[in-house]
Amino acid sequence: FPCNDYPTDKAAVDFHLTVPDGTTAAANGVLASTRRQGAVTTWNWHERAPIATYLVQIAIGHYTIARHRGPDGIQLRDVVPPGEAAALRVPLAGTSTQLAWLEHQLGSYPFATYGLLAVDDNIAFLNETQTLTVARASWLIHGIPGYPAWLMTDYGMTHELTHQWFGDSVSPSRWSDLWLNEGPATYYGYLYAAARGDLSFPGIVKQWYADDLQQRPADGPPAAPKSVSDLFNGPSVDETGALTLYALQLKVGTQSFDKIMRTWVTAHRGGSASTADFIRTASQISGRDLTGFLRGWLYGATTPPMPTTGTAS
């Protein structure tokens, strides 16, 4: 559809999807109404919160919309293949627990609804499309082949849900600011998995650090990645972005770090923000000039030493 496909150009969107009877048409936001006329039905969806065009999601096919209530009365709706609805009920029930945990970390959920679009196809990714994360149905039910089940149901689902705050509600000003999406999603996704007993969080941090020592010269630092084609799946953006946040937590202490992250998603809600904005926010909230520290982690050619001051959870 006609659009300026850049994350700073966000707008509310109305979807009017006319499809043959017996077909479901789903999109971001809330279902405002359906209207049947002859052999077709028009599904009218409304996403009132500003949305970047790369986060728009439309699904047309044979789906069932399963509705349930999440924490704080948040309306949850999942779009699922009818034949797998029963098997998907258990993994998708985890959304409520993940949502409550993230609200405790970050403050109130920024949108009117949330849910997953479970695709009965061989897609090899998850995507945080605003209010309607897309995921492969078989991965939700059985896990990703060759990996432990928690990597999908605990880490993967929480990673994409975290994006609703970081990346969707607060979008990057430039694509080189994408670490502001992926770093927090990776950080909180693994923190949730650790809270569930799936892994040692200090252990995963050690792995991130060792990996960055090896890959930074080739891949670049988080805020200046060298690979454009692999931007959304680059380790410098994801894991080193998360490592940067952990280093910041060590530097300023857990209480100050939590306030920085909450302030970030509140102050820029519904808009776009840059790496420079994040450095400024972190410095203001912590009461310390963190410019040199964060620029070293985010732009430096080599991996900085891990801080030893402050406290970390």
Encode pLDDT of 215-253 as tens digits. 999 999 999 988 776 677 667 889 999 999 999 999 999
Quote the tokens at residue 268: 């820029």
pLDDT of residue 2: 82
pLDDT tens digit string along 80-110? 999 999 999 999 999 999 999 999 999 999 9
Quote the tokens at residue 118: 């479970």
Do 79 and 59 contact (CB within 8 A), yes or no? yes
pLDDT of residue 227: 73
Q: Which amino acid is at 186?
A: T
In angstroms, rounded to a whole number, what is the distance separating the alpha carbons of residues 240 and 186? 9
pLDDT of residue 310: 52
Angle subtended by helix axes 239-252 and 201-219, to nearest 10: 120
Question: Residue 78, CB half-sphere, CA atoms under 13 Å: how many?
Answer: 27
pLDDT of residue 265: 98
Which H helix or E strand runs over 12?
strand 11-20
Rg (CA), the chain: 20
226 Cβ contact partners less than 8 Å away, ≥ 6 residues apart: 218, 219, 220, 236
Residue-level pLDDT, tens digit, the chain, 313 residues: 788 889 999 999 999 999 999 999 999 999 999 999 999 999 999 999 999 999 999 999 999 999 999 998 899 999 999 999 999 999 999 999 999 999 999 999 999 999 999 999 889 889 999 999 999 999 999 999 999 999 999 999 999 999 999 999 999 999 999 999 999 999 999 999 999 999 999 999 999 999 999 999 999 999 998 877 667 766 788 999 999 999 999 999 999 999 999 999 999 999 999 999 999 999 999 999 999 999 999 999 999 999 875 544 4
Do 92 and 116 contact (CB within 8 A), yes or no? yes
Q: Where are the beta strands (DSSP E) in 22-95?
A: 24-27, 30-37, 40-51, 58-61, 64-69, 75-80
Phi-psi region of 269 (alpha: psi -120 to 50; beta: other; left: phi over 0): beta
Quote the tokens at residue 267: 């102050």
CA 217 to chain centre: 27
In angstroms, rounded to a whole number, what is the distance separating the alpha carbons of residues 112 and 159? 19
pLDDT of residue 230: 66
Angle, vertex CA 130, rays to CA 65 and CA 91, nearest 5: 50
Do 29 and 129 contact (CB within 8 A), yes or no? no
Q: Which residues of 169-178 are buried (b: 16+ CB within 10 A; e: fewer)?
A: bbbbbeebbb
Q: Which amino acid is at 282?
A: A
In angstroms, rounded to a whole number, what is the distance separating the alpha carbons of residues 7 and 211? 29
